[in-house]
Each structure stands twice: as C-alpha cells, then as structure tokens.
Amino acid sequence: MLTLAVASLSGGQGKTTAALFLGRKLAQLGYPTLLIDADPQHNLTTYLGLELKPNEPMLLEFIKQSVELQESIYPVTGEDNLFLIPADDQLDGVVDYLASSGVGATLLKHRLEPLTSTFKICVIDSPPQRSQICLTVLGAADGLVIPAEASLKGYGSLVRTLDLLKSMQNVRATQAQVLGVIPFRDRWIGNNQSTESRLAVEAMTEEVGKTLMLPSIRESERYKQAINRRQTLTDLGYSDLEYPFSLLIESLVQQLGEPSHV
C-alpha cells in the first residue's frame, strides 16, 4: 500500500479538495483506496456525506486500538473502491495519547500495517497545524503532496511544511518525499495572471524546483460544485480542470501497477 499525506501548514490551502479528488480518481481507476480524515475539522468526512452516530468508531478509536481495526473503516456510499476512516472534533483528544506514547510520529504507520494487503493506496488529509496528529500523518507517509494557495500566505505555508518534513527526515521519523506541489486559487483577470499569484508561484518554483511543481489550479466555482454534488469534474464536463491531479496520478500509477478491485 502506498500512503500519501496531503499536508500544508495553513488553513484554506486546498488540502481536503486535493485529498478528495485524488482519492476519488484513484478509486474510479479501480484501485482500492483508503481515505483518512486526520483533521479535527473533519471536512473530508463531511464532503463524503458520512453521518455517524456518536458511538460509532472513527480515527480516534483506530489510533488508540480501542475497537477492531475494520470497525473504523466505512465504504463511501455510491463510490466503488473508496473507503474512509472518518473524524470528528473529538479527534483532538488523540493529541495527548500520541504525545505520551513515545512513538507518536510512527504510531499511525504501525496502525496501518495490517491494511497493506487490503488497499493499494491510502490518502490522508492532514490537519493544517504543526501538531502531534500532523507529525504522525507525515510519519506514516511514503509521499507528500503539498497544496498551497498562489499567494504570500500559501508560499509561507509551503516553506513551513517543507521545514517540518526536513526536520522529521533528519531524525528518521519519516521516509516521505515530496511528490508534488499544487498551487491553488491562482487568480487571473481575463488572460492576465494577478501579480501576487505570479510572484507566489515563482517563489514556490524556486523553493522546490520545476520538476515538483504541478500546474496551477485557477479560482473556479466548479470545484465547489463537484464537491457539493459528490462528483468528479469530469462527471460535470470539466475534465480540463482535473489536469494537475491527472499528472500526479499518472506518476502514481507507475508505482501502483495494475488496479484490482476490493
């Protein structure tokens, strides 16, 4: 199982959108795909329309091993090959548990090991703060996708995320490597890119190099429409807007090999 973390250390950078579109596209290609909502704001769980009762297990219970492993994994309604370990605002309660475990940065990685033969790929939506949850997400990851708004704030988020990754690599708390940076909300007026967006994307490119920069995602209401309707952009007739995700998935498919349904 290939494990991807979608992380960026500021809110509103497009993490959940990226995790959702990547997971959904990979599942449609036939890969058994596990999504994990590791953000206490639980937007990914909400976007996927999963409504759980208060006593039903989520990521908190999965990490603490307070239930059988499979009890925390839910099939996404209407989506073949797509499964979710959900979250709610109670996930904040896992922070002390991770901190006191002594192996917090690698704990999620260990918890996922029994699933490596069940799923081909796992995509984790990380919280936007440098927290114990974020550390254990990066510790579990083989690859890192960094969405960053095409703005000064987005550039700062990218830099902080790269600094955290490097610090974890230096102490061998993660083996994750950056797979791609996706600039979100690239602002254009007609055929002209805004100065702020242009400068931000240029700075990001200088930071990570051209090979890791994916095409920008322009501001568009189509993404919200796709999320609200629980469809892909291709389903809505806007496959061109999925181009950055398609490029990333092409490189992932080379590692994943042939798909096989659950």
* Residue 261 to residue 120: CA distance in whole angstroms: 9
Which residues make Cβ contacts (< 8 Å) with residue 9, sequence separation at least 6? 128, 129, 130, 134, 157, 160, 161, 164
Closest CA to 147 of 2, 3, 1, 10: 10
Mean predicted confidence (pLDDT) in 55-61: 90
CA atoms of 53 and 88, how far apart (whole Å): 11
CATH topology of domain 2-252: Rossmann fold (3.40.50)
Indicate the DSSP class of residue 215: P
Mean pLDDT of 55-77: 90
What percent of the chain has a predicted confidence (pLDDT) above 70?
Answer: 96
Q: Residue 258's pLDDT band (boundaries 50, 70, 90)? A: low
Question: Each residue of 9-23: pLDDT tens digit?
Answer: 988 888 998 999 899
pLDDT tens by residue, 179-214:
999 998 888 887 888 889 999 999 999 999 999 999
- How many other β-carbons are positioned within 10 Å of the β-carbon of residue 231? 13
Q: Which residues pair with 129 in a beta bridge?
A: none
**Predicted confidence band of residue 231 (pLDDT cuts 50, 70, 90):** low
Q: Does position 238 have pLDDT exceeding 90, yes or no?
A: no
What residue spans define the domains of the chain? 2-252
Task: Please state, rounded to an integer, the average pLDDT across all residues of the chain.
Answer: 88
Across the range 44-63, mean pLDDT stands at 88
Greatest mean pLDDT among 7-16, 99-108, 149-158, 180-189: 149-158
Neighbours of 171 (CB within 10 A): 8
Which has more confidence, 99 or 259? Answer: 99
pLDDT value for 218: 78
pTM of the prediction? 0.91
66 vs 75: which has the higher pLDDT: 75
In this prediction, residue 121 carries a pLDDT of 95
Give, for 84, the enclosing helix (H) or strand (E).
strand 82-85
Amino acid at 147: P
Which 3 state secondary structure label does DSSP give 123?
strand
